[in-house]
Amino acid sequence: MRKLLLSSTALATAAALTAGAAVADVSITAATDWQYSSRSSQVTAKDGTFFSNDSEIAFKFTNKTDSGLTVGYTVEMFSDDGEGTIDESSISISGGFGKVVLGEQDGAADNYALNALDAIAEESAIAFASASISTHSDIQIGSDANKVAYHLPAMGGFTAGASFSDSGTAAAANTGTDTTEYGFQYTMDAAGNTITLAGGSATKEAATKDTDSTALAVRVVAGNLTVIASQSTYEAVDEDRNNVGVGVSYNMGNGMVLGAYTNKSEDDLDAGEELSLTGAEVVYTIATGLKAAVTVEDYDYKYTASTHESANTVADSGTVSKLTITASF
């Protein structure tokens, strides 16, 4: 009888505690890419085949307060080689005033800016001997560093936000390298089509010359057809890059999506340095949560030795063929 009474009391206490506590909604998602790549390159060290893997698990918690605020916590874990176990971790507070996000996360420019390669599933991942050229026409500044961000509440088809990352007070970091970002998107309907204008800007302070990047893009969705045209700039010490790209995708309606893209990057401060990329892709949905993509990309990187600052730079051209298997949960 005493055991029964104790058990009943324990259950009643647990029920009371649960009733008084906030119960959060929890979402767990995961995705993993396995990739086989074959590269034909003029650089011997980069010519050949290789495997790679890209995996992520995201945990998201949300809870509504009595005052109507929505409080969230998100943590994303990557398993890629060379990356930390936890890639992003942040809390958010949202309401009628908009949304505030605190922690390790993407910046506002990255949140809103669009890139021509967003029209396809597998973006270019070609590595070159030179780090002074761009492989896309997106914002060139950004990281998951700890920051504070504010996003305006949606007004019609307009959304926008700003973020700030503090470089810290450590001797190695306290050199005025704070990063400020802004971004926006505006979506409208036009004759049954959806048009989105997107832009972003980012500035990373420096003791001598700040690093600046801007991006502007337009996306048009007409039925199963999506077209994205984008342009971006990047300015830093001995860098003045201009990047232009166009991406197209078409959903065949039978589980297959066709895509193509082109992108060109030039550095005006290194006369003669430029990179051209052209690619095509086929994505097929094998089953719910399982896709296969075949991507073929041609590239041509050239430079003028007399105007380039790095003796390690090597001109290169070739083709990269990739098979990517993606599983999402």
Tens digit of pLDDT for each residue in 96-136? 999 999 999 889 999 999 999 999 888 766 655 556 788 88
Residue 133: inside a domain, yes or no? yes
Residue 17: inside a domain, yes or no? no
Residue 181: inside a domain, yes or no? yes
Two structure tokens written together for 191: 């004759």
Residue 309 has pLDDT above 60, yes or no: no
Q: How many domains does the chain have?
A: 1
For residue 291, give the CATH number of its domain.
2.40.160.10
Residue 112: inside a domain, yes or no? yes
Look up the pTM and report it: 0.83
Residue 5: inside a domain, yes or no? no
Q: Residue 191 is part of which domain span?
A: 24-328
Residue 7: inside a domain, yes or no? no
Tens of pLDDT along 218-233?
A: 999 999 999 999 999 9
Residue 189: inside a domain, yes or no? yes
CB 48 within 8 A of CB 39: yes
Left, alpha or beta for 318 (phi > 0: left; psi -120 to 50: alpha)? left
Whole-number average pLDDT of the chain = 84
Contacts of 321 (CB under 8 A, 6+ apart): 37, 38, 39, 294, 295, 296, 297
CB 60 within 8 A of CB 72: yes
Tens of pLDDT along 143-188?
A: 788 899 999 999 999 999 999 998 776 555 555 678 999 999 999 9
